[in-house]
Amino acid sequence: DILYMLRMANSAVKRLADAYHIAFSGPQGREVLRDLIEKYVISPAHVPGDSHTTEYNLGKRDAVLELVEFASLDFGKILMEELDATAG
52 contacts: CB under 8 Å, gap ≥ 6: none
Query: Residue 29 and residue 15: Cα distance in Å, rounded?
Result: 18
- What's the alpha-carbon Rg for the chain, to the nearest Å? 16
Per-residue pLDDT of the chain (88 residues; tens, 9 = 90+): 888 888 888 898 999 999 999 999 999 999 999 999 999 999 999 999 999 999 999 999 999 999 999 999 988 888 888 778 778 6
Residue pair 22/70 in contact by the 8 Å Cβ criterion: no
In the prediction, which pLDDT does 61 show? 96
Taking the chain, what is the end-to-end CA distance rounded to the nearest angstrom?
57
